């Protein structure tokens, strides 16, 4: 058990308020209401009628349009934020100042600088700041993490991710900030050492003249020696959610839109015999062989990932530890997005990724 700066010891069931009743808020409310660890005690939205609609959908919860009312309530242990990214920073800082634990949807903030302040403030106050990187709690991504960790793929050589669809043009962010956080958070979760990109090269296009990139490509060399590539697109008539992770032993393909076989592991690849002495390219080519082995599909349960998210938030609060998708994880994603924005401004020139928070002098 832990206690926040509000002074109340965390009870067996925790009290949570959901801030924001738009697209994502109803999903959070439903999962907190269903979770064994939580009592949903309030839904807050500037549009009180919209908040009431969400409250009614989960069996009735108090609603308010005043965030201050929620933060002043000593019975509220945590808040879950589902509001536009530009509002995350002030809401999170106010919640932390009130001694509340916080979960915030992706992206953590609208700039890396603000994300750094949020993470530091949570650390100073001994409070949990969790990024709602929902995909990291899906059975498929949890299995990918397990396979990578146990060495089933070998050393990682490349990651190629595609997230495209005919999507809503967002009014306040480009396609990178809208879609790429999903893929970046997954890489951070499953790769050894997390999302350790050394630099980012970003190319985007705006064929609809919206003033922001609607199609985008990210290329990132990783510290482990692998190469990562992300394609995001609002304009594709077909919807694809696929990630390929290639290793020295096996290659994994995750197809999130194929519930019958979300994961496929291929024992196929290129083997290069290590020569004891340097040799010519022709001689080296003669030592390359192709491995054609079996393909298998791990069995996966079907369950809603958000249930795992709210369970993890409760566990992190009770155990006094960072969440598996902590504020620092959200900051690593922000660091890549920040570098991508700089690369876009520089016509695609590679830009260095800011160092991790723990390496930054306070």
Q: Where are the domains of the chain?
A: 14-134+306-326+333-337, 136-299
User: Looking at residue 285, what is its pLDDT?
Assistant: 57
Does the model's pTM come out above 0.85?
Answer: yes
User: Looking at residue 2, what is its pLDDT?
Assistant: 41
115-144: buried (b, 16+ CB within 10 Å) or exposed (e) per residue?
bbebbbbbbebebbbbbbbbbbbbbbbbbb
Handedness of CA 304, 111, 320, 11 (dihedral sign): negative
Per DSSP, the residues of 79-111 read: EEE-S-HHHHHHHHHHHHHTT-EEEEESSS-SS
- State how far the Cα of 239 lies from the Cα of 156, in Å rounded to an integer: 27
136-299 shares the fold of 14-134+306-326+333-337: no
Q: Name the CATH architecture for the domain at 136-299.
A: 2-Layer Sandwich (3.30)
Sheet of 288-296, strands arranged across: 288-296, 263-272, 251-255, 235-247, 156-166, 227-233, 215-221, 199-205, 351-352
Q: Is the peptide bond before 53 cis (omega within 30 degrees of 0)?
A: no
User: Looking at residue 277, what is its pLDDT?
Assistant: 55
Distance of CA 240 to the CA centre of its chain: 18
Span between the terminal Cα atoms of the chain, in Å:
29
Contact between 203 and 348 under an 8 Å Cβ cutoff? The reply is yes
- State how far the Cα of 18 lies from the Cα of 188, in Å rounded to an integer: 26
User: Looking at residue 280, what is its pLDDT?
Assistant: 62
Paired with 230 in beta bridges are: 161, 218
The alpha helices in 130-276, defined as continuous H runs, are 139-149, 175-190
Give the 3-state secondary structure of residue 338. helix
User: Looking at residue 361, what is its pLDDT?
Assistant: 35
Q: Strand 199-205 vs strand 351-352: parallel, antiparallel, or unpaired?
A: antiparallel
Q: Name the CATH architecture for the domain at 14-134+306-326+333-337.
A: 3-Layer(aba) Sandwich (3.40)
Q: Which of 333, 327, 320 is nearest to 181 (CA)?
A: 333
Q: Which of 249, 216, 252, 259 is nearest to 234 (CA)?
A: 216
Contact between 73 and 85 under an 8 Å Cβ cutoff? The reply is no
Block mean pLDDT (10 aa), the chain, length 362: 42 92 96 96 97 96 97 97 96 98 96 96 97 97 97 96 91 92 97 92 95 96 94 97 96 96 89 58 64 88 94 97 96 96 96 69 34
Contact between 178 and 171 under an 8 Å Cβ cutoff? The reply is no
């Amino acid at each position: 058990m832990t206690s926040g700066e509000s002074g109340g010891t965390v009870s067996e069931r925790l009290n949570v308020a959901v801030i924001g009743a738009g697209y994502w808020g109803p999903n959070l409310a439903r999962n907190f209401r269903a979770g064994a660890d939580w009592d949903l005690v309030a839904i807050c939205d500037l549009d009180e009628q919209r908040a009431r609609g969400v409250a009614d959908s989960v069996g009735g919860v108090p609603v308010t349009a005043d965030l201050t009312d929620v933060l002043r309530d000593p019975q509220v242990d945590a808040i879950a934020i589902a509001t536009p990214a530009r509002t995350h920073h002030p809401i999170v800082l106010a919640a932390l100042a009130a001694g509340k634990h916080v979960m915030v949807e992706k992206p953590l903030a609208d700039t890396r600088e603000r994300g750094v302040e949020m993470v530091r403030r949570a650390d100073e106050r001994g409070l949990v700041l969790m990024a709602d990187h929902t995909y990291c709690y899906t059975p498929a991504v949890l299995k990918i993490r397990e396979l990578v960790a146990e060495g089933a793929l070998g050393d990682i050589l490349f990651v190629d991710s595609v997230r495209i669809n005919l999507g809503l043009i967002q009014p306040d962010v480009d396609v990178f900030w809208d879609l790429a956080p999903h893929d970046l958070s997954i890489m951070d979760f499953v790769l050894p050492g997390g999302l350790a990109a050394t630099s980012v090269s970003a190319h985007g296009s705006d064929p609809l003249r919206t003033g922001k990139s609607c199609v985008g490509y990210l290329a990132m060399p990783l510290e482990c020696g692998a190469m990562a590539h992300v394609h995001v697109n609002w304009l594709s008539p077909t919807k694809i959610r696929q990630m390929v992770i290639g290793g020295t032993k096996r290659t994994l393909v995750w197809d999130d839109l194929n519930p019958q076989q979300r994961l496929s592991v291929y024992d196929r690849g290129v083997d290069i015999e290590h020569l004891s002495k340097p040799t010519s390219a022709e001689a080296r080519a003669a030592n390359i062989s192709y491995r054609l082995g079996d393909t298998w599909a791990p069995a996966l349960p079907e369950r809603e990932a958000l249930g795992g998210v709210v369970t993890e938030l409760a566990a992190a609060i009770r155990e006094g530890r960072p969440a598996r998708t902590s504020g620092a994880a959200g900051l690593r994603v922000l660091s890549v997005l920040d570098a991508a924005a700089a690369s876009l401004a520089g016509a695609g020139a590679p830009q260095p990724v800011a160092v991790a928070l723990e390496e930054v002098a306070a």
